[in-house]
Each structure stands twice: as C-alpha cells, then as structure tokens.
Chains A and B, each alone.
Chain A
Amino acid sequence: MFGIDFTKIPDLFLYDPNYPLLFGSSLFLFLFFALLVFYRIFAKSNNARILVLIIFSLYFYYMAGGVFLLLLIANAILNFYFGKGMGATKVEGKRRNYLLLALLFNLGLLVYFKYSNFFIQLVNDINLGQFELIDIILPIGISFYTFKSLSYILDIYLEAMEPTKSFRDYFLFVTFFPNILAGPIDRAAKFLPQINKSYSLTRKEIALGLMLIMMGLIKKIMIADYISLNFVDRVFDSPVRFTGVENLLAVYGYALQLYCDFSGYSDIAIGIALLLGFKLMENFNYPFKAKSISEFWRRWHISLSSWLLDYVFRPLQITLRNWRKAGNITALIITFVLVGFWHGASWAFLVWGLLHGIYMAIGMLVQGPKRKFYNKYNLTNSKILGGMQIFITFNLVAFSFIFFRANSFESALEVINQILFFFKPTVFIQFVEGFTPTFILLILGFLFHFLPSSLGDKVTDKLSKLNIFVQAIIFTVVIWVVTQVQSADLQPFIYFQF
C-alpha cells in the first residue's frame, strides 16, 4: 500500500551515524508536526507537555549522537548538582571549589574529545615524545551544550542568577532539542523562567516561527548548499586550477555560504523553539552590514561572542586592568584565539581567531585618532564613509574565512597567491556564463542581506494576518520548492562538526 515498506519503519527510529535527524529532512518535519499535535493536546497540562518535550529531545539527540546521549544526560545531572551545591553556600572558598569541579568536569570532557589528538600531535612534533593518536569520535553538539551548562554554573558563581530547584527544568534546558546540536548557546537565566509559563501562541508568533523556518530552509538549501557544491568547494579543493577572480568570488561565496548555512540553521532552531513556546537568543543580525570588526562580532554568532565576552574577556580585562591598553589587547588576543580554538583543534582556526584578535586590537588603537579625523572633516554621518567601512569590514572578514575554509594552511596561501598574482579580471565573463545560477544566487544572497531589516517584519506581519490554512499552504509550497532545488542529499550543517 502506498509503496511503503513497513518493515523499514523501525529503522527510522534507530541511530545511524550517516542519517542524523536533520532539520529540513522530511522525517524531521513529519515528526515535528506530530510533536506539535501532541503539544497542543497537552497544552493545558504543563507536566505532560514538558515530559513529551523531554522525551522528544532525548530521541532527537540519540538519532544524532547515538550512545553519547549518556554523556549528555551525565552533563545535565552533574551540572545541576554543582549549581545546587554552589547556591547552597555563601562561603567563597566552597563556591570556588564547586566552580573548579564544574570547570574540570565540563572542560575536561571537551578537551578530551576535541583536543586530545591535537596535543598528542603537538608533543610528537616538537619531539617531547612519541605517542599514538587516539581513535576518538567527537560527540555531536558537545561544544554547544558544554558552553550552555557552563553559563549556568558561571552565572550562579557571579550571582547573576539563583540555581533552579527543579531538576526537570534544568534537564530540559540542557537537552532542549532545537538548540542542542549547534546552538544558539542559550542562557539558563533566560530559558528556565519560560518553562513553566502556560503555552499559548499569538498569531504573530506563529507567523514568525513559520517565517523563520522557511527562511532558514531557503538560506540553507537554496543558497548555502547550492553555491558550495557547485562552485565554492571546487575552487577550494584546487585553488591553483582557477584564476584569481574565481578565487576571490569563491572567498566571497564562502562568506555567504557560511552565513546562510549557520544563520539558516539558527533561524530554523529559533523558529522551531518559538512554535514550542520558547524564545531563544538571537544568533545573527545581518553581520555583513557591520561597519567595524567589533560591530561584526556583535552581529555574528552572537550567542558565542557574548558568551566569551561575559566569561572570558571581561574577567581577563578586569584582572589585567592596570596594564591599561596592553591589558585590553592581551585580553582581546586571548579571547579571539579561544574563539578560533573553540571551532576546532587546528592551526587554521587558531590563525583565524588570532587574525580577528589582531583586527580588534588595531581597531581599538585607532579608535581615538579615527574619531578625531572624522569629526574634523565632518564625516561621522557620511553615507559614503559608511559604505566604505562596510566594504572594508566585509573584506577583512572574508579574508579571515580563507583560513577557516581552506583544506590546509598551504592551500589558504595558494588562494591568496592566485588572487594577488593571477587575477585575470576578464575571466569574470566566463564565470558568469559558466556558473550562471551560482552568480545569480550570489547576487540575490547579498542583495537580500542588505535590504532594510524592517522588510522581514512587514512580511511576517502580512503572514500573521492570513488564515491558518493559507499559512499552511504557503509553508508547504515553500518546502516543496526548496526540495525541488535541493541538489543532492541534504548537506550536514557546517557547525555540526564544531
């Protein structure tokens, strides 16, 4: 019947490393719809609703991470008790002991799974000894849920919040499926109070949730996956086979791809959470509109940059405050090297992070003279200057992404070399002819990015005024169109590897 092989259905619910339950896959959309129906039925009973949500979250993580589900559960249990223990005492020494214990547990596991081989290789390379590399699989999402849990512990330590009394609530905070695999790295202080609010959605929230999921799928599948498979990957796989102009377009293309991939993921996560009655923190705010690198970091991966600002940069800066500018610079460089290192144990990520640390430091040093210069020539509100600042910031960011994306450090240098010494601008015409869809998507992608952000609000507003059935039809049509464009299999989200 219907050509469905029912014997295969149980397989859909078993862990298969090659088939995580990706947002955007038809199985996920089907199960999420079923979850929403259950959720509606149990809307009046908070306990039943939260239980359904926890069970679904555990299933979702199991599909992505298999046996590492146990590690996630251990994380939730231990951090709940670390927080509880810390909150129960006013003695500074005891509080610090709980903090150290929590840091040891959380960072210990993160370092073991993520950085062991990097350090073993380092020890081998500088001839301190010879050790075999360990066969380790990275538990998916560990960088994200470790930071989520740590923010809870650190906020209690800094007396920014009280520990929650409810283990169930904390457990849901850690395992909540929309942001478990790749963020946003939400804060417990914002999330926990939302759990016991009764579930009701305004028309506007429903429309916004649907809008975010649709936009996320379009960004991810129609833009990011398409330009990466058809153009960006090819150039980065062998930069020397392409001219400088193509390399430059691939670098710009990668900036757009990474943005659409990761912000698309975040949009879907935030949209899904919203339909379940939870407001997650914003993760992207049109980052390429930034006029400086520090503004870029207030707009790009906001949940990570604000985490590092609060828990790494500020403590370092306050400790080093008597060094004045040198203290700020040291704190900046350390923070951004850690941003790079958070992404993965490789020199390329370190260089990427260091580059941003240097950008930030230079930005800080020239801030004063720059302000005086702009005031003197009355340039502060000039549109032309604003445009130039956006252009320069974007190019600095795109340049740093060469190291982020390139297959190796040498390959990154090849990309730069091609752009500088083998530019061949006339090849641009051939590019437009040969890669027409990619070219159109690049133009459209950047164009949409630079449209006024109020446009999205207007569309959401219009959508919210439509009948729910019309909304459902629009949603279905968008998903259908997106799946038609889908090039091959849905590509895993880039940030799943971090």
Chain B
Amino acid sequence: MISDRLKKIICDELYLDSSTIEINDETEATEVPGWDSLNHANIIVAIEKDYGVRFKGLEVLKCNNVGALQNLIDSKVSD
C-alpha cells in the first residue's frame, strides 16, 4: 500500500493534483506524468527531507516501482 504521505510528496514535487492521480504498488515512475529521469532526484530528496531519512544510492537504484520505494521508506522509518 502506498501511504497518503508518500503520494502527497510525489504529487507536490510534480505539481500534480493528488486526487486525480492513481499511484499503487506496481506504478512505475514513467507512468506518473512529469516523473522523468531529470526530476527523479528531486523526488528522492523531497522524500528524504520529509521523512528525515537518508537512503544509500544503491538502495534507490534497486527500486523499480513505487511499492519498492514505499518498502524502502518503511524499512528506514522503523529502524
């Protein structure tokens, strides 16, 4: 499950209206309007800031969809 908090961070960063955007575990970056390779880093930084966590580069690179990103966040927050 994608938390509302994560969805809001993503939508805010991409100037999207979160009520019109569907994001689930299987959603890949390319399916979200505006989430391209250039602002990918901005989204990651926004997530790190909001949750007060720090990811390793390799951990981020291994995420192939939003579900994997959510799991990564959860694993950091519960530590």
Contacts and interface: CB of A to CB of B under 8 A. Distances in A.
A476 interface: no
Given A327-B41, A328-B38, A318 B62 contact: no
B52 interface: no
Nearest to A321: B41
Interface in B25-62: 37-38, 40-42, 44-45, 57-58, 60-62
A42 B78 CA distance: 57
Interface string A318-346: 11111010011000000000000000000
B37 A309 contact: yes
A314 B40 contact: yes
Nearest to A159: B62
Nearest to A313: B37
Given A158-B62, A160-B64, A318 B38 contact: no
A364 interface: yes
Contacts of A294: 38
Interface residues of B, number: 13
A315 interface: yes
A318 B37 contact: no
Given A309-B37, A313-B37, A318 B42 contact: no
A324 B42 contact: yes
A317 interface: yes
Contacts of B60: 318
A312 to B, nearest CB: 12
Contacts of B41: 317-318, 320-321, 324, 327-328
A364 B64 CA distance: 24
Contacts of B64: 160
B9 to A, nearest CB: 15
B61 A364 contact: no
Contacts of A319: 57
Main secondary structure of the interface of A (DSSP, over half): helix
Contacts, number: 36
Interface residues of A, number: 19
Contacts of A158: 58, 61-62
Contact of A364 (B38, B40, B45, B62): B38
Contacts of A327: 41
Contacts of B44: 318, 321
A367 B64 CA distance: 26
B55 to A, nearest CB: 8
A158 B58 CA distance: 7
Given A309-B37, A328-B38, A315 B45 contact: no
A495 B21 CA distance: 43
A320 B58 CA distance: 13
A309 B29 CA distance: 14
Contacts of A322: 45
Nearest to A364: B38
Contact of A314 (B37, B42, B45): B37
A425 B60 CA distance: 55
Contacts of B42: 324
Interface of B: 37-38, 40-42, 44-45, 57-58, 60-62, 64
3 closest A-B pairs by beta carbon, nearest first, are A321-B41, A318-B57, A317-B41
27 contacts: A158-B58, A158-B61, A158-B62, A160-B62, A160-B64, A294-B38, A313-B37, A314-B40, A315-B61, A317-B37, A317-B41, A318-B41, A318-B44, A318-B57, A318-B60, A318-B61, A319-B57, A320-B41, A321-B41, A321-B45, A324-B41, A324-B45, A327-B41, A328-B38, A328-B41, A364-B38, A367-B38
Given A158-B61, A321-B41, 17 more contacts: A160-B62, A160-B64, A313-B37, A315-B57, A315-B61, A317-B40, A318-B41, A318-B61, A320-B41, A321-B44, A321-B45, A324-B41, A327-B41, A328-B38, A328-B41, A364-B38, A367-B38
